[in-house]
Amino acid sequence: MAAKVNGSRTKIPGPHRSQGRRRAKFAAKHFQGRKAGVGRERDRISCAFYRKPMSQVTTSMAREVSLGNRPKNEPQFIAPGEPQYGEIARLDAFIFKRYLDRVFWHPRPDVLRFEVRANPSPVGSIYDVVAIVGKGEGEVWFAEDAVPTRWDYVAITESTDGLGRLQREKAKADGRLPEDYVPFVGDGPVQDYSNLENPEEVEQRRWAVVNRLREANRLARHAAGKR
C-alpha cells in the first residue's frame, strides 16, 4: 500500500496577487519561460515515490519562507530608497526565483512554488522571494539548507544581461544612444542561460530532490508498518 503523506488532499489556495500586475509585466518583459520537458521528469520522480501524480498530492495548508531578493551571502550593492533600487532589486528577485526553480528541479506550484513580492515600506517597495511550501510532499521537496547562498554561473550571466538591458534602456531614454541602436545580443527579455549549467550540478540537484523523497517514503512505510 502506498504511504500517505501528511494531511488532507484539498488544493492549496492560489498565490496572493496584490501589486502583481507590475511584477507580471516586468517578468513578461525581462524573462522567458522555463525549459520544456522538465515537468514530465518531475512528475515521474513524484509518481515513483508516491504512486500518484503530484497534482493529487496537495493539501489545504502551506507555510511561507522569506528568502530575500538574492542569495544571503551575496552583498547588496544598492539600498532601498536609492535611485534604481526598484529596477535592480526586482531584476535580482526574478533571477533568484528562476535560480530556485532550477535548484529545486522546477516543482509543481501546488507542491512548492516561489513568488516575487513587493512589500511596502517608508522608502518604497522592498522586494522578496517567498517559498510557498505545501504541507506533505512540499515539506519534503523543499529544504532550507538547499537554498543557494551564492549566485551560480547561470544567475551571474542572467544578471549581467539584465543589468546591461536596463542601462541601455536608460541610455536611450536619456538620448545617449540613437533610437535605431540595436545591441548585439538583441532586445527583448533576458535570455534563458540554463544551457550553461554544469551537467554535474544539474544531476546533483536532481538527485538531492530524489533522495529527500526516497527517504521520506522510506520513513512513511516504516511508520505504516508499525501500525
Q: Is residue 210 over pLDDT 60?
A: yes
Place of cell 522569506: 66
User: In sequence order, which residues have a C-beta less than 8 Å from that of residue 59 and are 6 or more positions away?
Assistant: 6, 7, 8, 9, 10, 12, 134, 135, 136, 138
Provide the residue type at 180 as one letter: D
Report the relative pairing of strands 62-66 and 112-119 from DSSP bridges. unpaired
User: In sequence order, which residues have a C-beta less than 8 Å from that of residue 217 and are 6 or more positions away?
Assistant: 3, 49, 50
pLDDT tens digits for range 65-118: 999 999 999 998 888 889 889 999 999 999 999 999 999 999 899 999 999 999
* CA distance linking residue 64 with residue 131, whole number of Å: 6
pLDDT bucket at 56, cuts 50 / 70 / 90: very low
The grid coordinates listed for 118 are 513587493
Nearest to 154 by CA among 95, 106, 105, 68: 95
Place of cell 538620448: 175
pLDDT tens digits for range 1-29: 444 444 444 333 343 444 455 555 555 55
User: In sequence order, which residues have a C-beta less than 8 Å from that of residue 101 and are 6 or more positions away?
Assistant: 34, 107, 114
Length of the chain: 227
pLDDT tens digits for range 127-172: 999 999 999 899 999 999 999 999 999 999 999 999 988 888 888 8
| CA 26 to each of CA 31, 129, 143: distance values in angstroms, whole numbers, following the listed order | 8, 15, 28
> Does residue 90 contact residue 159 with C-beta atoms inside 8 Å?
no
* CA distance linking residue 104 with residue 145, whole number of Å: 12
pLDDT given at position 26: 53
* CA distance linking residue 99 with residue 212, whole number of Å: 19
* CA distance linking residue 72 with residue 151, whole number of Å: 10
Predicted TM-score of the model (pTM): 0.73
What's the angle, vertex CA 151, arms to CA 148 and CA 153, rounded to 5?
A: 125
Nearest to 145 by CA among 131, 126, 127: 131
